[in-house]
Amino acid sequence: MKDAIRNFGRENGADVVGFAAIEDYRSPRTPDPCTLLPGVRSMVVLGYRELDGGLESENERIRMMSRLAMMNLMTRKAAPAMGVVADLSLRHAAVAAGLGVFGRHNLVIHPRYGTRIIFTACLTDLPLESDPPVRDELCNQCNLCVESCPAKALDEEGKTDPMKCLRVSQPNGIGGAIAYAKKFIGATPETRKEQLVNPRFLELYQASFIGFEYHCFKCETVCPACR
């Protein structure tokens, strides 16, 4: 059964496929998976290697579109329920499914693809056993991720500061839109007119139909693990 699912995942664009019995998924801050799918017994976690050329491009639109293309490959996405905590933590799912270990940057490092991998997962009532966990310590604590983070979001070990990260990684997200709207509310009619033709407004307008736009990939790209 596992082989059939693994092959199906790979045929549909995943680079790696792992399995976790539901009792091995240990994510203290996210809900019990039974509240997501009654009778759930295991999860299939799919990993998609990111494109080096896209990630390393100097052009931020190329970096962003490269990620969006990867996300289109993924048939299911687990989205945050509210705020910055998801219904299902894909990092904890990937670790439970033997696809990697947490690094100093709080991202999951895969033994072959390093940090340049993103995940999705499928919950199922099939009684699948977990794949063997990765036992190697893949993070060498070089601290490059911490030092290179333009938002200083990784200074506290074991915790990403979401607000600091968001300002840099998703400047056109809801925070950016609210800040722009606040300026608009208090502005004079002349300034309002200027704000409507300002390139910043165009960026926010475009982002509103593209969806999640990622602008920073520093902690992924500087990580030397498994490269």
- Residues of this chain that interact with ligand B12 (CB under 6 A) are 27, 29-30, 78, 80, 84-86, 88-91, 102, 105-108, 115, 117-120, 154, 158-160, 162, 165-166, 169-170, 214, 216-217, 219-220
Closest separation in Å from C-beta 23 to ligand B12: 17
Of 128 and 146, which CB lies nearer to ligand B12 in the complex structure?
146
Decide if 121 contacts 91 (C-beta within 8 A).
no
Nearer to ligand B12 among residue 78 and residue 144 (C-beta): 78
Torsion of CA 129, 8, 76, 98, to 10 degrees: 30
Cβ-based nearer residue to ligand B12, 102 or 180: 102
Place of tokens 């295991």: 42
Cβ proximity to ligand B12: between 21 and 71 the closer is 71
In the complex, the smallest distance separating the C-beta of residue 29 from ligand B12, rounded to whole angstroms, is: 4
Smallest distance, ligand B12 to C-beta of residue 161, A = 8
CB of 101 to ligand B12, least distance (A): 7
Of 127 and 224, CB closest to ligand B12 = 224
